[in-house]
Structure 1
Amino acid sequence: MKVPLEQLKREARQSQKLAEREMQLASSGLADLAKKQSSISAEEYTHAIDGLADKLRVLRRKLEDSKQEEALLISRSRQRAADLNELSGFTSATQPEFQRWCRTRLERVLIDYMLRSGNVDTAKLLMEKSNLEHFADTSLFALVMSTEHELREQHSCRGALHWCAENRGVLRKIESSLEFELRLQEFIEMIRAKKSSEAIAYAKKHLTAWSDTQLPRIQRAMTLLAFSPTTGCPPYKHMFDVARWDGLAHEFRMVIFKLYSLPSQPLLHLLLQTGLSALKTPACLSDDPSEHNRNCPVCQTDTLGKLAQGLPLSHHSNSNLVCRISGEKMDEDNPPMRLPNGYVYSLISLTDMANKLDGKVKCPRSGEIFSLADAKKLFIS
């Protein structure tokens, strides 16, 4: 809900600033013409008036475009609010309407994941198919991706600094130092290019403004003038490291997500982790692959298990026994059976195996072969 609202506020602020600036320039121009009216020719006077009129027409077109963008954002906010309001009207999880709502939510989550990952074309196809354009923050993620590309690949801070200039007031409220980090990087690149005099002038103009909060770092940055980009001295070697560009791209993403109240991780990851945390047990962490359950997503260490690495173990007041062979729950209808080697499997799984092996069962973990009659029934308490 907050993304279109913040975009609407930003659009309104920019429109207001644009209108105030252009109207002030027009008023100043008219005042100057009034003073010079007696000293200039009628042709010059007419030309100046036409110039002011052209500028006002351009302003009108820009304000009309801005008004259309604001209307689009208002419509998007209304549609998202209506979707939330629809959820409050469901009385049962089995309602067809609720199932449809959940399907739409899943598609929204997938679109969010695709946009964050840079798969814009695939996201647009899903948006068009599901008619969910009003739920996708395409312009926001496009800005993030283009700025990150500029920082990582082109090693340029131009786009990021332009964005910081437009949002300086908001960045000040959240006490973000993103603009300082970008200015510092431009200073470092000047030193790398051996433009010492330009670097000093740049520092006086842009870095000294941060001396109240970043003085130690500014002093260290100025010391870079005495070092070569190939220096091995740890503090200055780190500042010359080109990996700083990746860090700046990541920080830009985190700051813009914070401003729009978006999670740092994709919603898909958050929802998957919520489910995985309910399934994670100590057995999932075992280094012995034989201890892993083939039907447990957390045990699949090369796929979903990666998402579950930092999650806590699930808490169950009442444990459930699950058969290692079939992945089915063991209870009074499918009791656990203990083999002579100590491993436990369900009766149904052992019976199916015995029917295929002439009354014999083979332990999948140890490879030992026993008779089905050797298995002892266990009782759950």
Structure 2
Amino acid sequence: MDAIEAELTRLTSKSNLSKALTNIDGCLELLQAARNQIAEDPDSAAKTLAMLQQTMNSQLEKVGSDHKDVYTGLNKFGKALDKKFKSASAYHSPRHDNIANKQPELHRAVAMHLMREGHFSVASHLLDEATGAGHPIAVPPSLEEDFRTLYSILDSLSGHDLNPAIEWAHSRAHDLEHRGSNLEFELCRLKFITLFLDALETGPEEAMQFARTEFHRFQQRHFRDCLQLFLAFTYRAGIAGMMTGKNQPKDVVNPAPYPYYNLFQNVEERWENIGKMFTSEYCGLLGLSAESPLFLAVTAGSVALPVLEKLRRITEDKGTEWTSHGELPVEIPLPSPRYHFHSIFVCPVSKGQTTEDNPPMILPCGHVIAKESLDQLAKGNSANAHLKCPYCPKECTLGSAMQVII
């Protein structure tokens, strides 16, 4: 990368168009002056044009020299890039074009990504152009409005205004609870913490009123957390001293001698996390992932391309070709578990790895086998067909087995 950085520095500092633009401006000034001279004294046109030609030739030579420096710098920078990043032109060939027949899906992914990123006008233009070309993109009409609402609430959260988010969470409380989400409580807890910290100077009335109004709905799932927040009022003076630095802890082992003081630490981190949590739960209720699938696919593809390019060169040198579908002969290391979406499981019966068409199935006894192995063990194809677990004496029906995501 040092060679690339050096060429880039040379390109931006020396091989740029600033000199060329200055010389071109000088040419324009000479032309303007000559035109004015001829307009004032038409008889001197021949002399003026002769002098102009001589001066312009000199200026044009400078412009050509400036352009030559720019092209030389671009050429060296391009060679440095080509030397560092090997070409993967084989993946541009029709033989490797896996999306040639999936343009509608690609356009939909791009439109969805633009909406997720808040670029609504660009997404709208893309949808209009696709429709005008006779290839409408299948995006729900309400999706744009849903994401506009999301970004409106996120803007409020960035300004430390929790009210729009809390109102939305209250309106979707049943759906959030069905998902097992803690979003509504986390929003209310952060609101209480904000009011409590403000109350250290003004008084606890507003925080207490908010707690009485909101926390009763969380008594079943978050009773202990709510109780701790209420009891923090008992130590309000001590916590206030700790927050302002007036009460410095004497015990190094226990730097927070006041109970519940830790509830009011790292508030800025809570604000950052609540925005991510809200986005995740909001998209989850829309049936969408928290992150853009296009972003994840491009990121994972960027990581995988060097490995795939090396595989391509090796197979070409050996005159072989990988023909299996749905798997690769090498492992693709991905940077984070968030890029793993498919089950990786080897069936203990067939000794083969499961696939999308042959997923892992869990039996009521807890043992897991592949679906094809399950069908082979079952005595019949109906849901009531009986089978015996190959690893324990328990029996079950075919319909009682469930697909498991590992």
Q: Which has the larger radius of gyration?
A: 2
Same-fold status (TM-score > 0.5): no
| TM bracket, shorter-chain basis | 0.3 to 0.5
Query: Which structure would you say has the larger RCO, counting Cα contacts within 8 Å and 6 or more residues apart?
Result: 1
Please give the TM-score of this superposition, normalised by the length of structure 2: 0.42
